[in-house]
Structure 1
Amino acid sequence: MNQQENFISHLVELRDRLLRSIIGFAIVFVALMMYPGAAHIFDLLAQPIQSALPQGTKMIATGVITPFMVPIKLTAMVAFVMSLPWTLYQIWAFVAPGLYQHEKRMALPIIVSSTILFLSGIAFCHFIVFGKVFAFINEFAPSSITPAPDIEAYMSFVLTMFMAFGVTFEVPIVVVVLVYLGVVTVEKLVDIRGYVIVAAFIIAAVVTPPDVMSQLFLAVPICLLYELGILAARMVGRKRQEILE
């Protein structure tokens, strides 16, 4: 097989993997639209803020088609997250033939771990952070104000927070990969621990609402996950050394 034929075969396989990923997403999306339905999914997402709002208060929709489009967009995002393992598997199946054996042994655990950590970050944000943050904001609000958040603004805020916490929970993976590639040593990671703590609070202040509680909920996990990454990197560093020897 010449170089041009090899390139075309790679393009064909890439197309097939992309189509399989899209089909997987579409199947999950249609299934979610049928059950439990877009409206019910949004109600589940809104549960943390509804619990914090005064009794009988509901969110509002200022756009004409917002009550229809926002739940649909949310369902698409949920379908994407649920089909993410299948998408990552397609990526893995495409790149795996070009990897060395020791790279395969490293890549698959990283893909699985990064997926689990990302979903864990979203779950932590939804089930723990939102309840505390929304209750704090509601208690802080003046008694002369009746909070009635717009559903589009609420979804935008929630998705931003989900992304922030999902990416934050990837810190151990980043640390392990950097050590495995030899970009940095475990000793260096320990030395810069103080800078990482300061950076964690700066990042938390930028991406979270301007209240101390939500910033702590993001900054503290970054620090803890960094320490977890150092522990995992020590083990990975030893294995890498054994391979090089």
Structure 2
Amino acid sequence: MNKSIEQDSLGIDPAAHALAEMPITRHLMVLRQHLFKIMAVLIGLFFCLLPFANQTYQLLSEPLRAQLPLHSSMIATDVTATFMAPFKLNFFLALMLAMPFMLYQLWCFVKPALYAKEKNLALPLLIASITLFYAGVAFAYFITLPSILHFFISASPETVAPMTDINSYLAFCLKLFLVFGFTFEIPILTLLLILLGWVSTQQLIEKRRFIVVGCFFVAMFVTPPDALSMIMLAIPMWLLFEMGILLGKLLEKRRSS
């Protein structure tokens, strides 16, 4: 009884204390249950989306087909490409749709080990990170991808008819989506660094010019080799960094009050 009161006074969750006393095999069994749920949902979504795989690829290729000349089209340079490209896209889409559930299952696994204060911070950050990732993918599809495609198609010589391989286009799009999805996590990363006490907003402000240069440096390596792609990634990275500083200032002000 006294031990329980002492834990409450220290802010220790009794469930977390019980979890700490749990053997490692029990932890692995609980983790396996969550992983089974994740796999079940992922496989279920994959097979539910499979009948629409070709329509999904048509939707993905719409920005490119809108930029191609009248008599140009997409091509398949491999016998299996017409099947594998929509298949790969279908798996990626199932993974994207299952992501909130996957992160929720991981949250359920680590939640008992967190203190009450950590739980209050972790859940909003988790929801915000999912939302920002989807926002990054949407930004890449609706804004960045059409602009980049228009630049490359318009820059091609008149004697060359652009005919993009469907597998190459899929790889290009998925890389772009992932880059922008993770780039939009910058405010969360900045906020976490401030929360952990590794940096302060003042330190980030003092190093702003180096971070802005770093944004352009990173964008130069992860985007296609053209200035437009680099700018369309570097500027959002910089603005998202500024958003992280703003949120960090609000957090530090709340702590001091």
Supply the distance in 2 between the matched residues of 1:112 and 1:6 (Cα, whole angstroms). Answer: 31
Aligned length: 240
Does 2:205 match 1:205? no
* TM-fit CA distance, 1:26: 1.2
**Match in the other structure for 1:186:** 201
Supply the distance in 2 between the matched residues of 1:223 and 1:192 (Cα, whole angstroms). Answer: 13
Does 2:174 match 1:159? yes
Supply the distance in 2 between the matched residues of 1:103 and 1:238 (Cα, whole angstroms). Answer: 18
Q: How does 1:125-144 map to 2 (within 5 A)?
A: 125-144=140-159
Larger Rg: 2
Does 2:48 match 1:31? yes
**Match in the other structure for 2:120:** 105
Question: SS where residue 83 of structure 1 aligns?
Answer: helix
Supply the distance in 2 between the matched residues of 1:239 and 1:157 (Cα, whole angstroms). Answer: 43
Normalising by structure 2, we get a TM-score of 0.90
State the percentage of identical aligned residues.
37
Q: How does 1:172-183 map to 2 (within 5 A)?
A: 172-183=187-198
Which of 21, 25, 37 is the equivalent residue of 2:38? 21
Query: Cα deviations across residues 1-45 of structure 1 (Å, max 9, x unaligned)?
Result: 8989632221111000000011111121111113xx111111111
Instruction: Answer whether contact 2:136 2:180 (CA < 8 A) is retained.
Output: yes
Moved over 3 A (4+): 1-5, 238-242
Supply the distance in 1 between the matched residues of 2:63 and 2:20 (Cα, whole angstroms). Answer: 56
Normalising by structure 1, we get a TM-score of 0.94
Question: SS where residue 127 of structure 1 aligns?
Answer: helix
* TM-fit CA distance, 1:240: 4.6
C-alpha RMSD of matched pairs (Å): 1.6
Unaligned runs of 5+ in 2: 1-17
Question: SS where residue 23 of structure 2 aligns?
Answer: helix
